[in-house]
A and B are shown apart, each in its own frame.
Chain A
Amino acid sequence: MTVDSTGEPLIVEGLSLALDIGGVQLNALRDVSFSLRPGEARGLVGESGSGKSLTLRAILGLLPPNARITSGRMVVAGQEFDLTRTDRDHRRRIARLRGAQIAMIFQEPGVALNPVVPVGRQIVDAVARRNGLTKRAAREYALHLMELVGIHDAAAKIDAYPFELSGGLKQRVMIAAAVAGEPQLILCDEPTTALDVTVQKQILSLFTHLRDELHASLLYVTHDLAVVAQLCDSVTVLYSGEVMESSDDLRAVFDGAQHPYTEALLHSTPDVDRIEQRLYSIPGSAASLSDRTDGCQFAPRCEYARDDCRTGSIPDTSGTPGRVVRCLHKVGAPADGVPVGGIDG
């Protein structure tokens, strides 16, 4: 594989997507943009219904049949894709990325693995076929990868079926399969959510190690802000299908959130290091797809919201390169609502 050091491994620009639900087109994603530098880990954060998993599926070309991309382009390793295309040629080009350029790790390793194929074969099948490895070479490579991801007695586990392994081991198998093709970009969809914290800690170390070693970029989807804080360099916060806040520097957001939603989300996240009598709870709940309106999607739950938040589309008011804040009345801004740029501390 040639490592393209000039281009960014992933650029997603202006991604909008509609879901057809009972014949009605509902906007599930609106104008989502972000990019990844080589070796960067970006957290894509949001609660259920925020569109974080749909975004991953759009990148992989694995959308459900009722989804339609209405706008958006993507660049992966120098190749450009118009995401609105649905023709066969386009689908083939995207399919060729999967496994080679882009690997994916899912939340439920138990569901993603084939229950009737030994794990060792699942790890290398795709790569062995593509590179014409002999049976012996493929097995050796599988063993090597299993050791790499911290499976101690790999030789004993290589012929095991997924049901014989614990959740943590299965997730390691998934990760081994993902890195087998030496991808430049690894997409992770809540890979540690189903695991215990002690296992999660090991898996997070493994991701850091793989990133340092392979210089692969990581797009890490999760609802867990603390995990993002531990693993990622940059962060994009989604709410109801829109980017609320984004920064190339994670700490800028975690230490000085400017969007009221980000602030509220950080505030409501329980933190072992912070003893509180009461947790902060965001009033109301996220609007369902059919109830989404013009303006800022968070406005109905936002304590800073005013009339101008409820119309049109909300521009980026950050004024800082590498930072996006889609809010007219940012945290810390003067009450008259004149946006001020670059106040992050």
Chain B
Amino acid sequence: MAEVDEAGAPVASSAQPPSADAPLLRCSDVNISFSQRGSKQRLHAVRNASLEVGPADIVGLVGESGSGKSTLARAIVGLQRIDSGAVEFEGRRLGHTRTAEDRRGIQMIFQDPFGSLDPRMKIRSALAEIIRRHTSLRGKQIDTRCAELMDMVQLPRTILSSRPAGMSGGQRQRVAIARALSINPRLLVADEPVAALDVSVQAGIVNLLSDLRREVGLSILFISHDLSIVRTLCDSVNVIYRGDIVETRPCAELFDDPRSDYTRTLLSAIPRLNGPRTEGLAQGQSLGVRRR
């Protein structure tokens, strides 16, 4: 299991001693910036970000909108160029252009299960397309593999003959996961995979991810704004704020004893089922709306 940085303050050190138990994924000092229209200044979306995901680890990446969490995720799967730093996978440094082998190792699922499947394709064809491209399976073997994948994501095999239109959000997200898993990736990057789903359905997806780690040893980088789910699912958490990873800690520690101010703010803002009721603004100042 990968050791997490000894907490606190922005993680900056890139000189980590090579350990025998090397992480599956290591990002070190990743910088990503964008040009801005009408300005010479570049927007620094991710600054000196370092994080690690070990084998069969589920690591959370938590932040608010605009924090750079999705940008970093896209850089990890090769959808976004980085300015400097390194993304290493299984000890190999990944370049801007990924080989088919690189792509087989890391797969990604997205927030919107409605946008990530071709509406005209039956599920079987959507899966077969990728299996044919990336593996040596042919003909009947593909059918067998598709059935296997449906079992893995806990969907009835009859789904293979349907199209996305007739499916619920939860089913589509399961199909998206099946498609990502079809070529046996070692790492799954999940970008807000349950944010668009109803609570009763999101629980099933969260449990599925947890099962996949246990059963097939899948590593997951789980990106979310929802700390409650992160606490349930993840082993360790990286908190990202305005492009900086401000805290990296094992889950249990982070929730019980947050060290950075931002993490504390974030934790105190979570609405709680059994928490105290929200108070009004400070002071008893009058609104004075009535002015007719």
A148–B291 Cα distance when bound, in Å, is: 14
Q: When the two chains form their complex, are residues B200 and A231 in contact, meaning their CB atoms are under 8 A apart?
A: no
A338–B255 Cα distance when bound, in Å, is: 44
**Is B40 part of the contact surface with A, judged by Cβ < 8 Å?**
no
Give chain B interface residues in 254-292, CB to chain A under 8 Å. Answer: 255, 265-281, 286-292
Q: When the two chains form their complex, are residues B273 and A208 in contact, meaning their CB atoms are under 8 A apart?
A: no
**Is B225 part of the contact surface with A, judged by Cβ < 8 Å?**
yes
**Is A214 part of the contact surface with B, judged by Cβ < 8 Å?**
yes
Q: When the two chains form their complex, are residues A197 and B269 in contact, meaning their CB atoms are under 8 A apart?
A: yes
| Contact segment of B125-133, B227-235, B242-250 | B227-235
**Is B204 part of the contact surface with A, judged by Cβ < 8 Å?**
yes
**Is B226 part of the contact surface with A, judged by Cβ < 8 Å?**
yes
**Is A86 part of the contact surface with B, judged by Cβ < 8 Å?**
no
Q: When the two chains form their complex, are residues A204 and B207 in contact, meaning their CB atoms are under 8 A apart?
A: no
Chain B positions 194 through 232: 1 when the CB is less than 8 Å from some CB of chain A, otherwise 0: 000011111110110010000000000000011111011
| Contact segment of A26-34, A73-81, A276-284 | A276-284
Q: When the two chains form their complex, are residues B200 and A281 in contact, meaning their CB atoms are under 8 A apart?
A: yes
Closest Cβ of chain B to A212, distance in Å, is 5
Highest count of chain A CB atoms <10 Å: which of B198, B255, B274: B198
**Is A229 part of the contact surface with B, judged by Cβ < 8 Å?**
yes
Which label, helix, strand, loop or mixed, suits the secondary structure of the A interface? helix
Number of A-B contacts (CB under 8 A): 153
A277–B227 Cα distance when bound, in Å, is: 15
Closest Cβ of chain B to A216, distance in Å, is 10
Q: When the two chains form their complex, are residues A272 and B65 in contact, meaning their CB atoms are under 8 A apart?
A: no
Closest Cβ of chain A to B239, distance in Å, is 13
* Known pairs A201-B269, A208-B278, A285-B201; A270 contacts B228 (CB<8 A): yes
Q: When the two chains form their complex, are residues A182 and B289 in contact, meaning their CB atoms are under 8 A apart?
A: yes
**Is B170 part of the contact surface with A, judged by Cβ < 8 Å?**
yes
Chain A positions 47 through 83: 1 when the CB is less than 8 Å from some CB of chain B, otherwise 0: 1100000000000000000000000000000000000
Contacts of B199 in A (CB 8 A): 47, 223, 225, 265, 268-270
**Is B64 part of the contact surface with A, judged by Cβ < 8 Å?**
yes
Give chain A interface residues in 159-196, CB to chain B under 8 Å. Answer: 167, 179-180, 182, 196
**Is A11 part of the contact surface with B, judged by Cβ < 8 Å?**
no
Closest Cβ of chain B to A38, distance in Å, is 16
Contacts of A265 in B (CB 8 A): 199-200
Chain B residue at minimum C-beta to C-beta distance from A131: B292
Contacts of B271 in A (CB 8 A): 197, 200-201, 204, 224, 226-227, 229-230
Q: When the two chains form their complex, are residues B265 and A198 in contact, meaning their CB atoms are under 8 A apart?
A: yes
A285–B225 Cα distance when bound, in Å, is: 25
A182–B289 Cα distance when bound, in Å, is: 7
Q: List 27 A-B contacts (CB under 8 A).
A: A47-B200, A141-B291, A148-B289, A198-B269, A200-B271, A205-B281, A207-B278, A208-B277, A208-B279, A212-B280, A213-B287, A214-B289, A229-B271, A229-B274, A230-B278, A264-B200, A268-B202, A269-B199, A270-B228, A270-B231, A272-B228, A272-B231, A272-B267, A273-B275, A281-B200, A281-B201, A282-B203
User: Besides the contacts A229-B274, A282-B201, what 15 more A-B pairs have beta carbons closer than 8 Å?
Assistant: A1-B292, A141-B291, A197-B227, A197-B271, A198-B266, A201-B271, A226-B228, A229-B271, A229-B273, A229-B275, A230-B278, A270-B232, A271-B228, A272-B227, A272-B228
